[in-house]
Amino acid sequence: MKYTIAVIPGDGIGPEVTEQAKKALNAVADVYDHTFIYKEAIMGACAIDATGNPLPNETLKVCSASDAILFGAIGHPKYDNDPTAKVRPEQGLLRLRKELGLFCNVRPVKAYEQLIDNSPLKREIIEGTDISIYRELTGGIYFGIKELSDDGQIAFDGCSYTVEEIERIAHLAFKEAQTRRKKLTLIDKANVLETSRLWRKTVTALANQYPDVALDFLFVDNAAMQMILNPKQFDVILTENLFGDIISDEASVIGGSIGLLASASVGKENALFEPIHGSFPQATGKNIANPLASILSAAMLLNHLGLHKEANAIERAVQKSLSLEITTEDLNKTHPFTTSKVGDFIADYIENQDDSILNFKNIHMGQSTII
Ligand code: IPM
Ligand code: MG
């Protein structure tokens, strides 16, 4: 089959990790006889530098005409440290999510057996953790009215949600729970926030359409604690935009590295796939960033296109790279591989599958001796 994939490498390490995801996709295309047509576009700080706009219209066009979007990372320190900047790289991503209606952000969190001892959390706490976070992505405080008084003394960020916005993602989260361990936890702050009370009421009302799913609720502060105390209690988590942003970064610690967490942002017409990590400016251009989150995002992209065995081939290759410790320095302190070598290994394993044991003898020749 033939698919058009919009590729937005973005800022910082984005281009380096996206390149590895493309290697994995090319290997899949080769083995399973597909054609992926990549349409590259710019967004973020690089787009501001080139055009003054973090999301040029051309990028939006390329994305809406694609079968799926593969995105790298966004952000640059020159904007982070300047609260007066009128135009920011992140606005590009936020506008893209909004314009394409990518309301449902899915972030799987798993404790990989090979990495359990990398996590600062104890093995017995995280072993067996498998969570799917459903984060609402186009509403809430991210997109509310923002104001700064003329004298600069008062700032305001409004937060609103409609029943419709809550229902459409809640249905997807319930359905996901049905295919898993049949538990859905709504994370909110219903003891304080009106929007959270609407979430609770709306989600509770939907629950009778999914009688096989056990629904429970947690306040976000307690949820943040439970995520570290006993993450195994979670199956599917449903939450609003800001809480989902925070909880998913916290949850990434369970996986041993934020460099492993992939995500899908799905709407009615379009879907975007990206690592949850940022642009990691300190590592830019050094060939040391972990490409696995980007590669796993490519696997989520394939699943979205219905190419499940292809996605599985990528996931197996990632498992193999973890088992053989063909990983970057965040996961492999003693003998790290470079970003591109990890990508080469993954592509090679997809191409050769079980036969690639023959190549393992040589892979250590590619190991970095610089770091
Ligand atoms: C994420 C990121 C974004 C967000 C930033 C880059 C705007 O942190 O995807 O989690 O806050 O949603
Ligand atoms: Mg975030």
221 in catalytic set? yes
245 in catalytic set? yes
**Residue carrying the six token digits 């990632």:** 318
Q: How far apart are CA 286 and CA 290, in angstroms?
A: 11
Contact 276, 107 (CB under 8 A): yes
Q: 308-339: b or e for each residue (b if 16 or more CB lie within 10 Å)?
A: eebbebbebbbebbbeeebbbbbbbeeebbbb
106-260 and 1-103+267-371 share a CATH fold? yes
On the 0-12 / 13-18 / 19+ scale of CB atoms within 10 A, 294 is buried
- Residue (of 104, 130, 110) closest to 234 by Cα position: 130
134 in catalytic set? no
Instruction: Out of 106, 245, 279, give the residue to mutate to test ligand 1, the one with the largest number of ligand atoms within 8 Å of its CB.
Output: 245
Question: Ligand 1: distance of its center to the CA of 47 in Å?
Answer: 17
Amino acid at 340: S
User: Under CATH, which number does the domain 1-103+267-371 receive?
Assistant: 3.40.718.10
Report the Cα 248 to chain-centroid distance in Å. 9
Quote the pLDDT of residue 370.
Answer: 36
Quote the pLDDT of residue 114.
Answer: 86
Protein residues whose CB sits closer than 6 Å to any atom of ligand 1: 74-75, 90, 93-94, 245, 276
Q: How far apart are CA 268 and CA 279, in angstroms?
A: 28
What are the phi and psi torsion angles at 184 (to 5°)? -125, 125
Choose, from 175, 221, 268, 309, the residue flagged as catalytic. 221
Task: Tell the residue nearest (CA) to atom 11 of ligand 1.
Answer: 245
Choose, from 79, 112, 142, 210, the residue flagged as catalytic. 142
> In sequence order, what are the beta bridge partners of 71?
8
Question: Ligand 2: distance of its center to the CA of 245 in Å?
Answer: 4
Quote the pLDDT of residue 99.
Answer: 98
Atom of ligand 1 nearest to the CA of 74: 6
Q: How far apart are CA 181 and CA 91, in angstroms?
A: 36
pTM, full prediction: 0.93
Task: Tell the residue nearest (CA) to atom 8 of ligand 1.
Answer: 245
Tell me the C-alpha to C-alpha distance, in Å, between residue 222 and each of 189, 217, 288.
Answer: 10, 10, 36
Atom of ligand 1 nearest to the CA of 90: 7
Q: How far apart are CA 34 and CA 37, in angstroms?
A: 10
Quote the pLDDT of residue 360.
Answer: 54
Q: How far apart are CA 24 and CA 296, in angstroms?
A: 9
Quote the pLDDT of residue 359.
Answer: 54
Atom of ligand 1 nearest to the CA of 248: 10
**Taking the chain, what is the end-to-end CA distance rounded to the nearest angstrom?**
41
Choose, from 189, 235, 344, 348, the residue flagged as catalytic. 189
Using 70 as the pLDDT threshold, list the residues of the chain that sit under it.
354-371
Question: Ligand 2: distance of its center to the CA of 222 in Å?
Answer: 19
Amino acid at 233: Q
> In sequence order, what are the beta bridge partners of 286?
none
- Residue (of 225, 219, 162) closest to 187 by Cα position: 219
Task: Tell the residue nearest (CA) to atom 6 of ligand 1.
Answer: 90
Q: How far apart are CA 166 and CA 151, in angstroms?
A: 36
Ligand with an atom nearest the CA of residue 135: 1
Non-local (6+) Cβ contacts of 307 within 8 A are 1, 28, 32, 34
67 in catalytic set? no
Quote the pLDDT of residue 192.
Answer: 98
Q: Give domain limits for the chain.
A: 1-103+267-371, 106-260
Sign for the pseudo-dihedral over CA of 292, 132, 70, 140: negative
The per-residue pLDDT for range 2-12, each reduced to its tens digit, is: 999 999 999 99
What are the phi and psi torsion angles at 259 (to 5°)? -70, 5
Tell me the C-alpha to C-alpha distance, in Å, between residue 245 and each of 18, 141, 205, 241.
Answer: 22, 12, 25, 6
Amino acid at 197: R
What fold is seen in the domain 106-260? Isopropylmalate Dehydrogenase (3.40.718)
Quote the pLDDT of residue 81.
Answer: 82
354 in catalytic set? no
